[in-house]
């Protein structure tokens, strides 16, 4: 079973495919070295594998906390990090969109850089370092991103440039912000979208963010042949505290929901724990100072709709 296979995985270093240099994606070690993380990674969705032994023979992590879509909401992020500390995990993985929408981008980048062992670049993060924004962006998102650009210094932009687009954490676990198929950037919201996304899932588990909804898709189709679109995809909304056992014969796309801007009518921050030893995934919700975060958005002069949706969870 892939739980035991995971324990035998040897590590790799981070490589930024823009420069072919090791990614300095700072985590607890702070020096670009990840002795307890066994990974292959790619930036801008270009797979690059470069296996090397795990320094010191460290045991790979088996219990991950996953966070995503923080969107400059520092109150929500602080609350989730506190809950993660109480839960006890081997490492914290951020699935992207640290910035955008909210009013505290600098604080969120600094907290993620300090606490997360690995961070994936999200589309809002990438807009910070690209010359052109997506023409399909709505006016509200565009305004918040332009505001955010003015708040970030060169050190923050350098950090975003160092982030990876897709990461293989083990022979059975991969992570990406929006979609594992490079040519697809749409939301994985339903079984039909998930069926197409499974064409890019060549591991047992693919962790994603982007939709802001805690959700799991699975298929019993084990083939990763690009011509074999799975037709048996099942979808599950993941409620607070619900633990789902993972079948090692299935493939999964799992979304832990959003920390900073949930969109499932529950304003509480959402995050998840993947336990590779026990073979299960659990979503957790964290209360936070929604009123304070809302007021930050208003005080910053950002669109009022971004403040109101924090209260509604939409």
pLDDT, tens digit, 9 for 90 and up, residues 64-88: 999 999 999 999 999 999 999 999 9
Note the maximum CA span of the chain.
52
As a whole number, mean pLDDT of residues 84-109 equals 98
Residue 131 pLDDT: 66
Residue 98 reports pLDDT greater than 70: yes
> Quick one: which of 22, 29, 30 has its CA closest to 58?
29
* Cα 207 to chain centroid, rounded: 7
pLDDT value of residue 168:
94
- Check residue 14 and give its pLDDT: 33
Q: What does the pLDDT read at residue 60? A: 59
CA–CA gap between residue 156 and residue 153 (Å, rounded): 5
Number of H-type helices and E-type strands within the chain: 9, 15
- Could you tell me the pTM of the whole model? 0.82
Q: How confident is the model at residue 271 (pLDDT cuts 50, 70, 90)?
A: very high
Q: Mean pLDDT throughout 159-182?
A: 94
pLDDT at 3: 36
pLDDT score of 157 more than 60 = yes
Task: Tell me what the pLDDT averaged over the chain comes to.
Answer: 83
pLDDT at 227: 56
Report pLDDT for 137. Answer: 81
Of 170, 165, 195, 167, which is closest to residue 182 (Cα–Cα)? 165
Give the whole-number percent of the chain exceeding pLDDT 70: 78
CA distance 28 to 112: 10
- 34 and 60 in contact (C-beta within 8 Å)? no
pLDDT band of 275, cuts 50, 70, 90: very high
Statement: residue 55 has pLDDT above 70? no
pLDDT digits (tens, 9 = 90+) for 187-220: 999 999 999 999 999 999 999 999 999 999 999 8
Pairing of strands 205-207, 173-176: parallel
CATH fold of 2-312 reads: Purple Acid Phosphatase; chain A, domain 2 (3.60.21)
Place of tokens 């910070």: 128
pLDDT, average across residues 134-150: 90
**Centroid of chain to Cα 256:** 8
Paired with 214 in beta bridges are: 256
Q: Which residue has the higher pLDDT, 129 or 185?
A: 129
User: pLDDT digits over 220-269, tens only?
Assistant: 876 655 556 777 999 999 999 999 999 999 999 999 999 999 999 999 99
Q: Provide the residue ranges of all domains of the chain, joining segments of one domain with +.
A: 2-312
Closest by alpha carbon to 273, among 6, 59, 97, 63?
63
Other CB atoms within 10 Å distance of the CB of residue 293: 25
């Amino acid at each position: 079973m892939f739980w035991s296979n995971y324990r035998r995985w040897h590590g790799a270093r981070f490589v930024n495919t823009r420069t072919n240099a090791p990614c300095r994606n700072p985590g607890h070690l702070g020096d670009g070295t990840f002795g307890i993380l066994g990974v292959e990674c790619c930036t801008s969705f270009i797979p690059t594998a470069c296996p090397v032994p795990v320094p010191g023979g460290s045991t790979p992590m088996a219990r991950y906390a996953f966070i995503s879509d923080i969107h400059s909401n520092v109150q929500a992020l602080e609350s989730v990090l506190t809950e993660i500390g109480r839960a006890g995990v081997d490492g914290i993985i951020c699935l992207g969109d640290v910035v955008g929408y909210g009013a505290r981008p600098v604080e969120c980048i600094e907290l993620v850089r300090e606490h997360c062992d690995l961070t994936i670049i999200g589309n809002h993060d990438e807009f910070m370092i690209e010359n052109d924004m997506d023409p399909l962006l709505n006016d509200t998102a565009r305004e918040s991103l332009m505001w955010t650009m003015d708040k970030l210094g060169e050190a923050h932009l350098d950090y975003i440039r160092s982030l990876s687009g897709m990461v293989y954490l083990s022979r059975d676990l991969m992570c990406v912000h929006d979609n594992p198929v490079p040519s697809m950037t749409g939301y994985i919201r339903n079984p039909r979208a998930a069926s197409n996304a499974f064409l890019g899932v060549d591991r047992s588990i693919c962790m994603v963010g982007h939709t802001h909804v805690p959700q799991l898709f699975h298929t019993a189709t084990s083939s990763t042949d690009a011509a074999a679109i799975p037709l048996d995809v099942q979808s599950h909304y993941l409620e607070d505290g619900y633990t789902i056992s993972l079948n090692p014969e299935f493939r999964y796309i799992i979304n832990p929901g959003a920390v900073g801007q949930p969109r499932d009518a529950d304003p509480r921050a959402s995050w998840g724990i993947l336990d590779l030893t026990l073979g299960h995934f659990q979503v957790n919700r964290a209360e936070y100072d929604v009123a304070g975060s809302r007021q930050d958005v208003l005080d910053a002069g950002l669109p009022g709709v971004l403040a109101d949706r924090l209260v509604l969870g939409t």
